[in-house]
A and B are shown apart, each in its own frame.
Chain A
Amino acid sequence: MKDAPEDSRVLLCAEAVMTNYLIRRLFQMALVVFLAAIVTYFLFNIAPGGPLVGLQQQQRRLTREDLARLRAGYELDLYWPVRFSRWLIGVPRGPIVLGGNDLFSNVAVGCYLPRDATLQRNADGTLTRIPAGCDQYEYLSDIQKYHPLVKTSNGILRGDFGLSSVILRDRPVSELIKSRIGPTLLLMSLATLLSLLFAVPIGIYSAIRQYSRFDYFFTTVSFIGSAMPVFFFGLLLILVLSVFPSMLQISLPWIPRLPPGFAVAVRAYDISSWLQNIQPGTLLDRLLHLFMPTAVLTFAFMAGWSRFVRSSMLEVMRQDYVRTARAKGLFERVVIVKHALRNALIPFVTIVVLQIPGIFAGAILTETVFAWPGMGRLYYDALNRSDWPVALALIFITAVLTVFATLIGDILYTVVDPRIKYS
């Protein structure tokens, strides 16, 4: 009875520590996300390419006003702090009206008509250098004139990623992401689940039977799996399961062949003499398309994870308490499952949680090899075609998810292992 209040005090104290820790971590996270936003934004702003590249050659045919209008279309007329702030939080969107008065409406936020440095011939024949400058400044009050609200993003922090500039011209980036997230989620979660199902038992069994034939075999396999370039493994699978069977189609029509790319077929197809006329979009069609990318990813994940489970299991099996458990006369099964495994899987939790950003961001190489219409391939397309708003949105989402996953991993770590303190 006496212990009860003390206990609750300890609990309260622990809770306070936890809240403190969470608040501190959330602040750190906000800071990291903000820094990530700044860094990625400036990376892309020093990047060449983008929407105006082709125009450089045509400049002579365009009047200055045309060019200015085009530049304004991509907000290139605004000064970079203004542009960054509009990208991040969506302000300033126009004059600030407070109590019926326009505030700061005469503050210049950009240059609508920039002027290059030129030489001017004076009447007496001498040359005067006119420095680069601005012929027409843009003020806070004109923002809405040059940048209509329909095209203005609400800011990436409010979940509005702006408009795509190349891939789906002038359509919202979020629309593009929405159409790509489904296939990525399907592929990545399936691969993660399957590799967990394989990796954990293999790792445990390898550790229990260390240096057995099973152990050597799977250690070698996982070695190969983690060293194998994913993209070549993908191409190899396409060769073996799709290209070679199609070449043998005439002599050996019963060999099944898999469709090599995309998530669903365009028209009906057959994979062998005994499985013909598969309709596009059916479950079987989807599964057939899913098979190879999932296999590649599963192999790659499994390789690393099974080695991890094995080594952490070996580490735990050497501990004194496992020996104690054995000395008590417990069954080996109980020792392994109840005493060793639980502790061995603790560090594994963080690794699996850090997989979360990958599940959303997709696997760039695998999706590219199999033309899988997911986020990873979208990122690759965005970089190759210089669609910076799309690439920016994706890298920003990945950064935020990585930061979140790290936090969740740290918290989970302390939940499953109470010995670890928040600090």
Chain B
Amino acid sequence: MTTAVRTALPRSRAEDATQENQLAVIVRRFLRHRLATASLILIFFIFVASLLAPVITVFPRDAIDISSSNRPAPPGVVDNEGRVHILGIDQLGRDLFTRVLYAARVSLSIAFAVVLASETFGALVGATAGYFGGMVDMVISRIVEFMLTIPTLPILLIISAILIKSDTVLPLPGFVTKALSAIMLAPEREVQKVVVLILILVVFGWMGSARLMRGMALSETKKDYVESLRSVGASDSRIIFRHIVPNGLAPILVNASLNLGGVIVLESALSFLGLGVQDPTPTWGNMLAMSQSYMSQHPWMPLVPGIPLVIVSIGFNFVGDGLRDALDPRLKR
């Protein structure tokens, strides 16, 4: 039986070559979308800058500059050791360039974690619904429809107001918090709060990919190869994981890219309203919120976190659009 399945997926050298060609085709199609390419480059630049944050800046994240008494201060202020604050300092005397880099780390990690978790979960749920059909499909589809009609922002605000204000801490294994705190370069205590936010965003973010995957699974399940897989005795989970999910991966990838932008905006909206990531941990959202009270005297302040936020959120949307064109030209607008 296993040989039958294996012969269904032969991997000759010729086929590898065509696959490489396919990849080249996809890359070429993607590069034709100029806005998507430009966005990808900009996002990559921000990503690398945030990765190298401790190397690029000389200041620690929360260090307060005690040498100058006018706070916030404009870009180019020099402290008493001769170090330049490239983007100025905020109202507490912290270096804004440093904080915006660390904020990129936090915001991007949250976005990637949320999207990875919600797309995976959604894809599995959707594939299950589409593959089994009947009662399972009915229940899952109703749940998805219900969650999609809920106005997202008000509900998200309530839930984070309740969970984040009460300092809820999820029981996480130590290595998870350690790993996350190494990625975000934030103390573990702060990371534990961020994880709650990630969880909230996942709970409200999986429906899109579930719906997509359900549609794919519905049409795939009717095809002959699924029937033949069943006849050679492949188990349901094998068919779902090895055949249906990989077949529906292209739209999920596009959706993930679009979602990355959406999640970054949503997270910064929550942080902007004071109900997301809280102050000592920098994110673009809470930096914007703080700059709001000083912007009439210090107009550069909202621009510091705002510009990268806009680049990344619009950028991921363009990348998603480019990916759609590249992966499936039939879907083109």
Contact = CB atoms under 8 A, between A and B. Distances in A.
Interface of A: 40, 43-44, 46-49, 219-220, 223-224, 226-232, 235-236, 238-239, 242-244, 246-247, 260, 311, 314, 357-358, 361, 364-365, 368-369, 379-380, 383-384, 386, 391, 394-395, 398, 402, 406
Contact of A228 (B157, B274, B310, B333): B310
Nearest to A225: B314
A228 B313 contact: yes
A232 B310 contact: yes
Interface stretch (B48-56, B121-129, B215-223, B292-300): B292-300
B153 interface: yes
Interface core residue of A227, A239, A369, A386 (most chain B CB under 10 Å) = A227
B232 to A, nearest CB: 39
Chain A's interface: helix, strand, loop or mixed, by majority? Answer: helix
Contacts of B303: 239
User: 8 closest A-B pairs (Cβ-Cβ)?
Assistant: A48-B166, A227-B317, A383-B161, A227-B314, A47-B162, A232-B306, A235-B302, A229-B265
Given A384-B275, A406-B149, A361 B154 contact: yes
Nearest to A235: B302
B165 interface: yes
Contacts of B130: none
Interface in B269-303: 269, 272-275, 288, 291-292, 295-296, 299, 302-303
Interface string B24-46: 00000000000100000000000
B300 to A, nearest CB: 9
B261 interface: yes
B321 interface: yes
A365 B272 contact: yes
B35 A220 contact: yes
Contacts of A220: 35
Interface string B171-187: 00000000000000000
A231 B165 contact: no
A148 to B, nearest CB: 30
Contacts of B150: 402
A47 B166 CA distance: 8
B159 interface: yes
A364 B273 contact: yes
B131 interface: no
Given A235-B288, A239-B302, A365-B273, A227 B162 contact: no
Interface string B201-226: 00000000000000000000000000
A380 B153 CA distance: 11
B296 A391 contact: no
B257 to A, nearest CB: 12
Given A43-B162, A406-B149, A223 B321 contact: yes
Contacts of A43: 158-159, 162
Contacts of A44: 158, 162
Interface in B308-325: 309-310, 313-314, 316-318, 321
A311 B331 CA distance: 11
B268 interface: yes
Contact of B165 (A49, A236, A238): A49
A395 B158 contact: yes
B151 interface: yes
Interface in B136-158: 149-151, 153-155, 157-158
Interface core residue of A40, A232, A243, A395 (most chain B CB under 10 Å) = A232
A74 B52 CA distance: 53
A230 B268 CA distance: 11
A364 B272 contact: no
B162 A232 contact: no
A391 B269 contact: no
Interface residues of B, number: 40
A239 B296 CA distance: 8
Given A223-B314, A232-B310, A239-B302, A383 B157 contact: yes
A48 B164 CA distance: 10
B288 A243 contact: no
Nearest to A48: B166
B295 A229 contact: no
A365 B299 contact: no
Contact of A383 (B275, B306, B314, B318): B275
Contacts of A228: 310, 313-314
Given A47-B165, A227-B313, 11 more contacts: A43-B159, A46-B162, A223-B314, A223-B317, A236-B302, A238-B295, A243-B295, A383-B157, A383-B275, A386-B161, A395-B158
B254 to A, nearest CB: 14
Contacts of A46: 162
Nearest to A391: B158
A402 B273 contact: no
A126 B268 CA distance: 58
Given A229-B265, A365-B272, A368-B273, A235 B162 contact: no
A232 B310 CA distance: 8
Nearest to A47: B162
A242 to B, nearest CB: 8
B296 A229 contact: no
Contact of A229 (B155, B157, B268, B292): B268
Nearest to A46: B162
A228 B151 CA distance: 19
A155 B321 CA distance: 49
B165 A48 contact: yes
A240 to B, nearest CB: 10
A226 B317 contact: yes
B274 A398 contact: no
B299 A243 contact: yes
A384 B273 CA distance: 9
Contact of B274 (A232, A311, A384): A384
Interface core residue of B154, B295, B318 (most chain A CB under 10 Å) = B154
B302 A229 contact: no
Given A357-B151, A379-B157, A383-B158, A236 B306 contact: yes
A71 B310 CA distance: 47
Contacts of B317: 223, 226-227
B82 to A, nearest CB: 30
B127 to A, nearest CB: 26
A361 B151 contact: yes
A219 B316 CA distance: 16
A386 B149 CA distance: 26
A379 B333 CA distance: 38
Contact of A239 (B153, B299, B313, B314): B299
Contacts of A223: 314, 317-318, 321
